């Protein structure tokens, strides 16, 4: 009887603790909505891709005062979170509020640093492809996909009341180009974006066809025309102002490191990176000697060995079987050594399209929308080799 009584008492404590935990977690989740709403307002495509409801037909826009609006709304969100922190008694909720306040303060510093440093430029074709692809995907519920056509009509200005995003981007660049001392984008990045435009256009067209969206032709024809004109603008106005030095000002590096939670200064990271690179060189050289001996290569210098190895590329139909076979070997090791529990279903691995490869030219895991994860499996993408990039990409699901 004593054992039973103790067991009941423990269960009672756990039940109370669980109820309390649920209470503070729900409160913290409610506080987090302040930033979720803020980020959704200015980046609806990203929020929608994570399953935030009510945003599927929304797009990013670039009015003349966008930066000022973002900053003002971020300051407002920070002040609201600070007021909640001052009034909150629960230490766990207060801790989460401190984290959220820190996020807003870093965002404000990032906005200020970017405004003082850069000319506004980005890949519009990439943005539109992301906005369409995040809805036109097997991981997205079928009833959400028609919103991709609404987005396309808004991107291109076919929808009444909307200005083509390409024209908005051109106007913002020309406005800031009058400000002396601002840095242009990296030349290599601009040239890569120009190279990828046609790939993105083709990729969007294939998605519209695959998911059988009705009546997309007018907006898609406009998209093709507008992105072609925008590329001409980029060559004429942006490329001459592009910088050949990829390095960024220290303030930008500091802001970027803060946003990733890195406490080191740029100078400390530079020192550590040089030391690590020297160590990696030594390790690669030791491996290269063995590889050169096994393959009877003329040189055992690790640079020469890497050049030889890179001549052996997987392409076309060879990629997926190689991924499947390698993953099976890894899973066999995991099961044999009881390292962790694997799902009963096989991994979903597929070859990425050329447009997906342009967007992310490396193998990666593609999670389902966060809000829909209970009923969706992860995917792995393997890059596809396509003309102009010299890389292949695999998407594993």
Final residue of a domain: which of 100, 117, 134?
Answer: 117
Hey, which residues does 396 pair with through a beta bridge?
Answer: 349, 380
Which segments of 22-155 are extended strands (E)?
A: none
On whether both 194 and 160 belong to a single domain, the answer is yes
pLDDT confidence of residue 293: 96
What is the number of domains present in the chain? 4
Within a domain: 37? yes
Final residue of a domain: which of 71, 96, 117?
Answer: 117
Reading the block at residue 198, the tokens are 């046609």
User: Counting Cβ atoms within 10 Å, is residue 149 exposed (0-12), middle (13-18) or buried (19+)?
Assistant: buried
pLDDT confidence of residue 263: 86
Within a domain: 247? no
Range of the domain at 277: 264-310
Cβ neighbours of 338 (radius 10 Å): 7
Within a domain: 252? no
**Mean pLDDT split into 10-residue runs, the chain, 397 residues:** 40 42 87 95 94 94 96 98 96 96 94 94 96 93 96 98 98 96 95 96 96 96 98 98 90 86 88 96 97 96 96 83 90 94 83 86 75 54 50 36
What are phi and psi for residue 88, nearest 5 degrees? -80, 140
Closest CA to 125 of 243, 204, 13, 25: 204
Final residue of a domain: which of 254, 279, 310?
Answer: 310
Reading the block at residue 111, the tokens are 């906005």
On whether both 11 and 107 belong to a single domain, the answer is yes
On whether both 13 and 83 belong to a single domain, the answer is yes
pLDDT confidence of residue 249: 86
On whether both 182 and 133 belong to a single domain, the answer is yes
Write the DSSP assignment of 151-179 as a string of letters: HHHHHHT-STT---HHHHHHHHHHHHHTS
On whether both 112 and 128 belong to a single domain, the answer is no
> What's the CA gap between 343 and 347, in Å, rounded?
8
pLDDT confidence of residue 273: 94
Q: Is 397:366 a contact under the CB 8 Å cutoff?
A: yes
Within a domain: 48? no
Within a domain: 80? yes
On whether both 273 and 216 belong to a single domain, the answer is no
Q: Is 395:364 a contact under the CB 8 Å cutoff?
A: yes
Sign, CA dihedral 331-336-337-339, equals positive
Within a domain: 49? no
pLDDT confidence of residue 370: 65
On whether both 100 and 181 belong to a single domain, the answer is no
- The two beta strands, 379-382 and 349-351, are parallel
Dihedral angle over CA of 302, 308, 310, 315, nearest 10: -160
Q: Is 300:286 a contact under the CB 8 Å cutoff?
A: no
On whether both 111 and 14 belong to a single domain, the answer is yes
pLDDT confidence of residue 395: 38
């Amino acid at each position: 009887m004593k054992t039973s009584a103790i067991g009941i008492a423990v269960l009672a404590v756990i039940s109370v603790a669980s109820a309390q935990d649920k209470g503070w977690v729900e409160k913290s989740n409610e506080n987090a909505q302040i930033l979720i709403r803020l980020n959704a307002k200015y980046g609806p495509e990203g929020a929608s891709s994570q399953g935030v409801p009510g945003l599927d037909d929304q797009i990013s826009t670039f009015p003349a005062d966008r930066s000022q609006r973002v900053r003002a709304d971020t300051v407002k969100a920070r002040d609201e979170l600070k007021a909640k922190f001052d009034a909150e008694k629960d230490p766990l909720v207060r801790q989460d509020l401190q984290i959220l306040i820190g996020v807003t303060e870093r965002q404000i510093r990032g906005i200020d640093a970017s405004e003082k440093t850069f000319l506004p430029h980005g890949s519009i074709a990439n943005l539109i492809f992301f906005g369409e692809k995040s809805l036109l995907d097997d991981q997205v519920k079928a009833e959400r996909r028609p919103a991709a056509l609404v987005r396309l009509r808004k991107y291109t200005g076919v929808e009444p009341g909307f200005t083509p995003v390409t024209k908005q981007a051109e106007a913002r660049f020309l406005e800031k180009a009058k400000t002396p001392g601002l840095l242009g984008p990296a030349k290599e990045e601009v040239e890569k974006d120009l190279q990828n435009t046609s790939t993105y256009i083709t990729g969007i067209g294939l998605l519209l066809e695959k998911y059988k969206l009705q009546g997309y032709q007018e907006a898609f024809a406009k998209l093709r025309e507008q992105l072609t004109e925008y590329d001409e603008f980029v060559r004429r106005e942006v490329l001459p102002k592009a910088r050949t030095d990829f390095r960024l000002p220290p303030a930008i590096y500091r802001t970027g490191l803060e946003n990733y939670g890195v406490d080191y200064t740029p100078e400390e990271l530079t020192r550590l990176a040089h030391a690590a690179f020297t160590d990696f060189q030594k390790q690669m050289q030791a491996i290269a000697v063995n590889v050169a001996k096994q393959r009877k290569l003329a040189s055992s210098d690790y640079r020469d060995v890497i050049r030889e190895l890179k001549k052996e590329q997987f392409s076309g139909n060879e990629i997926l079987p190689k991924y499947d076979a390698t993953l099976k070997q890894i899973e066999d090791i995991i099961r044999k050594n009881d390292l962790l529990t694997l799902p009963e279903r096989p991994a979903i691995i597929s070859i990425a399209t050329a447009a997906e490869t342009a967007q992310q030219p490396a193998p990666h895991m593609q999670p389902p929308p966060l809000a829909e994860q209970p009923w969706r499996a992860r995917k792995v993408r393997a890059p596809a080799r396509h003309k102009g990039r010299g890389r292949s990409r695999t998407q594993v699901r």
